[in-house]
Structure 1
């Protein structure tokens, strides 16, 4: 299994570093540590209010900018001023371009053609190498695809307790990467006894099994938050474990309930749409 997912629109590491709820010096140190360890993808957003720290961590790593796949997102309340907000993100991050720029959430009054047109212009003008969306349910993603804008990714909550089969049916057919955030169900899977039993057979942790289950899937990349070197290293090791899970292991995880969503703010879309 390759450590990268390559489509006609982007080539992205299968495992990246999520930075939601990291800030300041801790965020910068986490980014530096991850990059020193071998991570080559970092995910942030204007709403996280940590872009300066993420940019400082990338700069301090000493890596060439082209070696780091950097994703940021525009908040749903700012979709009428996408270019302005992208430029502000670039300034905070200290870079001339993003590898991927996403609409963070669809707003209740989303003007989809206009927002996607504005995203496409960012790509044409070199501010973003690829563009996409986040938290788009299947019906809305289909509408987005129909606009003709080259959507490279859809970032959504995805883990062993939440099915994304409807979305995967679309993303795989359209060469769109599905990025899994909250891949440990906000920590719940690390202590799930059913996952722990599988972990015991492999001499690994339940968190590593949960990540490996996602990492082995076609067209799925995963962005767990990992603050310190120990958890960052454990997550990297899940890449190798993904190739060692047995059919029986996978079947056990597949059989878990898949209807538990933990990120569902008041402004969220109708997930069944």
Structure 2
């Protein structure tokens, strides 16, 4: 197997380095140009979602690249996600995403969050009246139908704890191929990674650098003295060290940057090799979850009254 890919439990290969396409500020043209630049650099894995609003830009960039003969559709791995307002009908939601993308299938379709919203709540931060009951068994049956119809090549989840994964495995006819979660040297997900490894569920890391540049993000990882020392030792950058740590722990990484120099820098993590001493030193870092999901907590309509309920005390 190629060292820059992971093999999913479906047998398909997933590139370890993915480009996140979410942006709260960039327009379609800016996003599409950045994705086209990434394609020319050799990026093969692109992560989008209905709620990101970037599906049309991603699809446009892919179609341009294919038209220009830069690649075939089969060369690209596309991930999209089921938004919380669409749990009642994953098939219709995926068909809409495919229409937005201009594609016949996505390579991976994920349940974005383990929470349901009313159909009108097509925005990231719900109001108190937007929460709805979620029947995960029915949702997963819809996801399995999407897979059976060939509209996606693999299905999975995002932001699921080990407890929620176990509940899903208890009734799923097809187990998830991927769980996409926050993971980085300061939130190492040891328990979750062990569970996923035992059940052949691939872990994909979002915010692998801590989300610097986002309103909710942190620069603590790349500024940490241990990370910086390891980077100096290997003549690498702190970002490359952080990304490589996730990869060497068997995870793929979804990293968001539309800056050309940063995109090249992030790609350089594929060529880095950390030694056992580096990995042990990173285990010493104090852990802190950054994307806590506080927007999903309230005392009346949400199924989660405390942040610990959302993550099943795995926080």
**Where on the TM-score scale, by shorter chain, does this alignment land: which range?**
over 0.9
Distance 1:23 1:161, change over 3 A: farther
In structure 1, runs of 5+ residues without a counterpart are none
Distance 1:33 1:152, change over 3 A: same
The answer to whether the aligner puts 1:211 opposite 2:263 as a matched pair is no
Q: RMSD of the alignment, in Å?
A: 1.5
Tell me which residue corresponds to 1:177: 202
Tell me which residue corresponds to 1:5: 6
Tell me which residue corresponds to 1:35: 39
Distance 1:123 1:260 in 2: 32
SS at match of 1:72: strand
Tell me which residue corresponds to 2:276: 247
Alignment of 1:84-123 (within 5 A): 84-107=92-115, 109-123=133-147
Determine if contact 1:132/1:153 at 8 Å carries over to the other structure: yes
Aligned pair count?
Answer: 270
Alignment of 1:220-239 (within 5 A): 220-239=251-270
In structure 2, runs of 5+ residues without a counterpart are 117-132, 213-218, 298-308
Determine if contact 1:14/1:215 at 8 Å carries over to the other structure: yes
| Segment drifting more, 85-94 vs 165-174 | 165-174
Distance 2:153 2:241 in 1: 32
For 1:159, which of 184, 190, 194 is the aligned residue?
184
The answer to whether the aligner puts 1:19 opposite 2:33 as a matched pair is no
User: How many Å apart are 1:102 and its aligned residue?
Assistant: 0.6
Tell me which residue corresponds to 2:91: 83
Distance 2:226 2:114 in 1: 35
| Segment drifting more, 111-120 vs 7-16 | 7-16
Deviations 1:141-169 (A, max 9, x none): 11111223231101111111113112111
Tell me which residue corresponds to 1:271: 311
Determine if contact 1:16/1:222 at 8 Å carries over to the other structure: yes
**Structure 1 length-normalised TM:** 0.94
User: How many Å apart are 1:23 and its aligned residue?
Assistant: 4.1
| Structure showing greater relative contact order (alpha-carbon pairs closer than 8 Å, 6 or more residues apart) | 1
Distance 1:210 1:163 in 2: 11
| Segment drifting more, 8-17 vs 187-196 | 187-196
Tell me which residue corresponds to 1:69: 77
Larger radius of gyration between Structure 1 and Structure 2: 2
Tell me which residue corresponds to 1:142: 166
Tell me which residue corresponds to 2:125: none
